[in-house]
Structure 1
C-alpha cells in the first residue's frame, strides 16, 4: 500500500504506553504519550508462548484503578482471551474506569460480537488479530464497530509455526489484513528511533507510514531503551521520526520497505536462536 505525501500538519499518530508506574506515566504523558495500557492478559499465556521470547504482565484491578486516578488520557485495559472470565473482566474494567478494552487472541467474529453486546457502548472495544482464524475472518471483523485493530506479531508467529515474528510483515500478511480495516490500525511496537534490534525501529516507523497506521504500543523495548533517558526529550524525538516518515515520498517509503525486508531476512538466525518454539 503506497500513500501520497501528507501535508506538513502534525501527524495524528497515537503512542500507547504499557505501564503501571505512575511517575513514569505522568512524565510520558507530559512528553506526548496519548494513552496508557493496563495489561491483564495472562490466562494460558505462559503455556502458549513457551519457548518464545515474549513478555507476560501481571497487572491487576488495583493497577487499573491507580492508573485511572493518575491520568486524564485514555486508559485501555487488555483483558484475557474470550472465555469464562470475559464478562466479569469487562464489568470490572469498566467499573474501574477503562475507556477501552482490548480483546486478545480473537478466534471468531461471534466472540467479538458477544463482547460488544456485553460492553453495550460503555467503552470502546479493540481487538488483536494474532490467530490464523482472525486473519481468515478479517473481512467479517472489519464490519464490526471496533475502536482499533492491532496485529500481534508474536502470537501470530507461534500460530504460523515461524520463529521470526516479523515474517508476517515480509510475506505481506500484515498488509493483507490492513486493507480490510478503516478503524485505527497498528502492528508491532516502537522504541527510540535510533534503536531496535534486530529490526531497526526507523524501518518499522517507515513501514507504519507506508501502511497508514495510526497507533503503536510502547512496551518492552521502549521501556528498556529509555532507561536513563529523559522522556521529555525522547518521546518528542520519536514523534519527529514519525512525522518525517509520514511526510516521505512514496519512493522513499518503498526503498525503506525493501530495506526492512532485507533486515527481516537477515534476522532469521537471531530469531531461530531466541524463539525455539519448544512446545514439548
Structure 2
C-alpha cells in the first residue's frame, strides 16, 4: 500500500491540482496558538487559513479527503471543532496535546462525527502515550518531527529518526493497531536528508502517512498555476515510482538504508552546527 500523502493549501486551484495528481489529503491549517513563539527563528510555515477555506475546498474535492488541523486544546476548542465539522472537515487533527485528559476531551467533542488524528509533537505526549493509546476513538496518529525535535532539544528534525525515537513510537502505536505516519517528504532527489532515504524508513517502520513538505511544491514562491501543475505532475509520478521500488525491498536492504540514514543525519547535524558557530 502506498503512503497516504497530505499537502497544505487553502487555494482551491492548487488543491484540485494536488488531488488530480494523487495527493490523498488536502490540509487546511487553523493552528495559530503558540506557534509563533515555539518556532521563532525556525524556517517553517505560519498559516493564514480560515474556517471559510474549509467550505470552499470541501465543495470542489471529489477523491481527496479534507483534513483540518485545529488549535491546541484550549477554552475555545469546543466552538472551533464544531465550526470545523459544520464547514465540512472529514478529518480533524489535534496538535500539541500534552495529556490523556486533553485527548479524551477532543475525542468526546468530535463524537465520531469525523475521523480523529493526534499530532504527537511534545515531550509530554511521549511520556503519556501508553495511557493515551488505551483510549478509544483515535483513528490515526502522526508524529510531528518539526515541533518534537525542538521540544527535545535536537538540531535537525530527522535526528529523531536516527536516534530511535521515531522507531520506538511507531512500535508502540503499531501494537495498538492505530495507523500512523511521521514527518514530511521533499521531492525525490531533494532534501538535506534525501527523500528516498526517508521513504524507505517509512516502509521499514510500517508508516502509512506522510506530509508533502513545503519544498515539494512551495506555492508561496511559485505563482504561476501552470508551473505548479508541472511540479505536481512530475514529482508525484517520481515519488510513486520510487514507492514501487521501496515496497519490494527486503529487510536487509531496509536495514542498510537505516545505517545510511544515521550517517546522513550525522553529517547534516555537523554542518548545521558549524553554520550556527560561524553566525
| TM-score normalised by L of structure 1 | 0.89
Q: 1:79-122: CA deviations, max 9, x gaps?
A: 01111121111011000000110000110111111011111100
Q: Which residue number in structure 1 is paired with residue 74 of structure 2?
A: 83
- Per-residue deviation at 1:162? 1.8
Please state whether the residue corresponding to 1:216 is helix, strand or coil.
strand
In 2: Cα distance, 1:194 partner to 1:219 partner: 13
Greater alpha carbon shift after TM alignment, 15-24 vs 120-129: 15-24
Q: How does 1:96-107 map to 2 (within 5 A)?
A: 96-107=87-98
Unmatched tracts of structure 1, length 5 or more: 1-10
- Per-residue deviation at 1:224? 2.8
Q: 1:213-251: CA deviations, max 9, x gaps?
A: 101111312123995434233212211112211211111
- Per-residue deviation at 1:274? 7.3
Greater alpha carbon shift after TM alignment, 143-152 vs 226-235: 226-235
In 2: Cα distance, 1:95 partner to 1:272 partner: 46
Higher relative contact order (CA 8 A, sep 6+): 1
Q: Which residue number in structure 1 is paired with residue 23 of structure 2?
A: 33
Q: Which residue number in structure 1 is paired with residue 161 of structure 2?
A: 169
The match for 2:213 among 215, 219, 224 is 219
State yes or no: 1:183 paired with 2:178: yes
Q: Which residue number in structure 1 is paired with residue 37 of structure 2?
A: 47
Greater alpha carbon shift after TM alignment, 133-142 vs 251-260: 133-142
Aligned length: 265
In 1: Cα distance, 2:9 partner to 2:213 partner: 8
Instruction: Tell me if the contact between 1:205 and 1:245 (Cα under 8 Å) persists in the aligned partners.
Output: yes
- Per-residue deviation at 1:44? 1.2
Q: Which residue number in structure 2 is paired with residue 3 of structure 1?
A: none
Q: 1:2-61: CA deviations, max 9, x gaps?
A: xxxxxxxxx242111111121121122111111111001111110111122222111101
- Per-residue deviation at 1:273? 6.5
Q: Which residue number in structure 2 is paired with residue 201 of structure 1?
A: 195
Please state whether the residue corresponding to 2:141 is helix, strand or coil.
strand
- Per-residue deviation at 1:275? 7.9
Q: 1:124-176: CA deviations, max 9, x gaps?
A: 11011111111112222222321211111121111111222112111101111
Greater alpha carbon shift after TM alignment, 114-123 vs 42-51: 42-51
Please state whether the residue corresponding to 1:264 is helix, strand or coil.
helix
Counterparts in 2 of 1:163 and 1:275: CA distance versus 1, 3 Å: farther
- The root-mean-square deviation of aligned C-alpha atoms, in Å, is 1.9
Counterparts in 2 of 1:207 and 1:214: CA distance versus 1, 3 Å: same
Unmatched tracts of structure 2, length 5 or more: none
Instruction: Tell me if the contact between 2:139 and 2:179 (Cα under 8 Å) persists in the aligned partners.
Output: yes
Instruction: Tell me if the contact between 2:5 and 2:211 (Cα under 8 Å) persists in the aligned partners.
Output: yes
Instruction: Tell me if the contact between 1:77 and 1:101 (Cα under 8 Å) persists in the aligned partners.
Output: yes
In 1: Cα distance, 2:132 partner to 2:273 partner: 32
Please state whether the residue corresponding to 2:74 is helix, strand or coil.
coil
State yes or no: 1:233 paired with 2:234: yes
State yes or no: 1:116 paired with 2:110: no
- Per-residue deviation at 1:62? 1.2
